[in-house]
A and B are shown apart, each in its own frame.
Chain A
């Protein structure tokens, strides 16, 4: 043994960093080991051309809770917003855009029924999202409850659903397993409006709007947004600055963060995690090992399977981790112009999803490992809001491209090139002339994201946010409450409850479990 520390955290993604910061603040000696050259994981910046930086994967902040920002003094350490409360603008080839601003929908083609329907939909979903809140910030209560604290948490969820009243409780229980496609049909007529709303449920997901459980995913995201007061926000300097701020806060509290230090495997002795071995062969020992890597990575790659049981490996192996979100990065010579879009809205969140059936048609080929003919896009032009990102009047465009398959074929490179062409052609339809402005273009497929960020299947949320992997079943019953079958080994990443998106709650809760001695 060459060193003895309290906790090793594998992976300096935002959850790993948050976990480190909370542990360090409690006086623990913490070492974070990151494979990449920089901290941040999916929330790090990427240099695309001559020094132009943009958020490499996640590009909008919406679910980082206020209490974490406050606890870790993130604003002091560099978290600033270039913009908050971004509107959602659904683009249209003919120029008929729809603008969503919280409860308000605007668009010439929207009927009064659509406007009223959207209002009702918005309020109902807010109500139901709030019902999920009591358990969202906490470690998921166990179903066989012994501990009074967990008993209270579970009662809290039950009470918050019951508190909706008989009518809304029934309604909540009716819709919670439904798909968004059918549910929105009950409220709204205009398909472009529905598609714009549906984006929130689908980005990063393996599934389409007609797939089971898309309502749950939608409510989940809404509930996340209820926990902060910035709405959709654009961090100044790119998403990397958020991770940098958390890292600074952690370092300030005494945490040691080492980049370029990929972990080869976790050392286990007598069913107890005692340390890690780095790719360099260096062995580091600690009381606790906390993995911010996804479960498949942690258990199928970093641990000798001799230490695991087959029932467990089966559950991990069967976890749904098929990312379908790709990422497009463009450097443009100047601001593009989208048909029908007022220049003042160029800095908002732009969406290309013409209708619900178009989403479904983009989703369908991905089931058979094929690429979509017209992808669904969420576009941000961060440099419009944040002039620190670019010089010489150049502009950056960052877009989530949904639904790209996990392509492990030999034609991967040709397919990526062809898909990039398709995405640019799609953009060209909405912003004629944009292709002539492109200086640099790159497309990351889910497989690229897996390679670059070490996430199995390239899935944003590590594990699909579905009913079977929800609350005490997240990511699986054998991995609930951050614990694993190996003593002193915990998970702290997005695969843990409440999981997904840029929240940091999983990281904080894992730290709390360690401090409570539950490991």
Chain B
């Protein structure tokens, strides 16, 4: 990956390019750059609609190099992670990946991420925000090494119904045997490619992990194999649409890390985000357990749910009311989408108790900008289960050969 010159003052440091950037920069047509974790990334390369549909109908590729990657190794690695995470890490098999969250002592959510297990003594944590201080301080008393390998490893997410076929065409024979959240290392390209059946799109998909020095070769091989199958780089706008359909939460959108909230009480716990299934009170002690036990005694005052909204106008940032006259606010929308594949107006929203349960009707107050005029509309909406979209191919092993 491009050399990080940490010696220079922050304001003089250039925005970085990911290891794949030189390979795909000729595909950038509309210059919709955005900064992510210090890197130049793209909101879209050419057309966000086409990028979105490439994932639902063919194979879309998203550059996930800016994600933080931590190598966690040592004889206490598993014990360390079992205390760090609210999930039971001891149940994890080698060559598997789990989605997990971790909290501070007060049970406040720090972040979510994916944990890769290579062996009892070697793991990799992948997440969106810097965690090194928390990990190092959590390691006091454990025989564990923690190393930030973010710049050493480059990664691409190849997602969509033909992604498996493309990988097979690249020579990764046996990749179709990977079950969801399973990983394996393939060396057919002459260098090691770790492939995990993971993603952030709610579709069939894989993530490909290589040493940064092999990034260009991986990209060339992937796009060569995929060019007859409609492979396409996608930007963050398309990814955001995909993850909303999959009902997946995003840091700084659905919740803010308790490290970053400036207003006390704006922190979230896993229950408020509907992540009860990620908290295992039976596994023994873990960070935040006491606080979460206490939090669990009462139902959350607010909880994140999926909403189905009448009419077809995307309800971005709308406030939710208990009646059409909008007198009492009961929640707000965090992410909204007119779903192209469902033809449905969906959203993720925080609702007060008791509205997040049951089938009560409620109203979203939406502001529409039409011909330079703002119009206020009130649409009826109701709680609907997540994920909104979950195709069968997502979990089918082996996937259909397309």
Contacts and interface: CB of A to CB of B under 8 A. Distances in A.
A309 B102 CA distance: 12
Contacts of A313: 137-138, 140-141
Contacts of B142: 305
Interface in B160-188: none
Contact of A310 (B82, B105, B284): B105
A300 interface: yes
Given A271-B290, A313-B137, A317-B140, A306 B105 contact: no
Interface in A143-167: none
B287 interface: yes
Given A271-B290, A305-B142, A485-B290, A310 B137 contact: yes
A314 interface: yes
Give the interface centre of A310, A312, A314 by most chain B CB atoms within 10 Å. Answer: A310
A179 B286 CA distance: 43
B394 interface: no
Given A271-B290, A312-B105, A485-B290, A307 B137 contact: no
Contacts of B83: 305-306
B141 A271 contact: no
A305 B288 contact: no
B104 interface: yes
A94 interface: no
A314 B142 CA distance: 14
A271 B140 contact: no
B281 to A, nearest CB: 10
A311 interface: yes
Given A300-B141, A312-B105, A313-B140, A307 B134 contact: no
A271 B289 contact: yes
Interface residues of A, number: 14
Interface in A469-493: 485
Interface string B127-141: 000000010011011
A138 B287 CA distance: 32
Interface in A303-325: 305-307, 309-314, 317
B140 A307 contact: no
A485 B142 CA distance: 20
A278 B87 CA distance: 32
B141 A311 contact: no
B79 A314 contact: no
B151 interface: no
A314 B285 contact: no
Contacts of B329: none
B105 A311 contact: yes
B106 to A, nearest CB: 7
A313 B137 CA distance: 8
Give the interface centre of B83, B106, B138, B285 by most chain A CB atoms within 10 Å. Answer: B285
A351 B394 CA distance: 80
Contacts of B284: 306
10 contacts: A306-B79, A306-B285, A306-B286, A309-B287, A310-B105, A310-B137, A313-B137, A313-B141, A314-B140, A485-B105
9 A-B pairs closest in CB distance = A309-B105, A305-B141, A311-B105, A310-B138, A309-B287, A307-B285, A314-B137, A306-B83, A306-B285
Given A306-B79, A306-B284, A309-B287, 16 more contacts: A268-B285, A271-B289, A271-B290, A305-B141, A306-B82, A306-B285, A306-B286, A309-B105, A310-B105, A310-B137, A310-B287, A312-B105, A313-B140, A313-B141, A314-B140, A317-B140
Interface of A: 268, 271, 300, 305-307, 309-314, 317, 485
